Structure 1
């Protein structure tokens, strides 16, 4: 398994793919990340074609256990960010 790309490496690869400079590629990446964050935190979803769908899901109130003490307690309802991976990406990884 290889290490994940850092933001610098991702910006450099994106600049090369787009045929532009790193500053423009970095700005594009930051804009996409800001858009995804805004949409998902507002309760919406974002579909990245060929990659997957990022969305927010609400989890109900539930009982949890503290592993250190064994004590059970009520955890309030919260939200969690989920991602469903696109079939095209799954197929390219497995095929």
Structure 2
């Protein structure tokens, strides 16, 4: 499917340019012509009890849908789906 879309926008691979540069270029060109959006993520987060409320607040601001919540001693585990945020939010 991606190959066909690349052909539709007349994109040709250039062996003299880096693959990263070409990938970024083709993504920008595809987004302009076709309805492409970021895929929602499914996250499993395990945190201590003092950080648990902070995690729940963040999931709320990201419109995350909580699938399961588990408690094991002082550790809490949350599985959330339908989160559509930039990956840069998760860098430490």
TM-score, normalised by the number of residues in structure 2: 0.25
TM-score, normalised by the number of residues in structure 1: 0.25
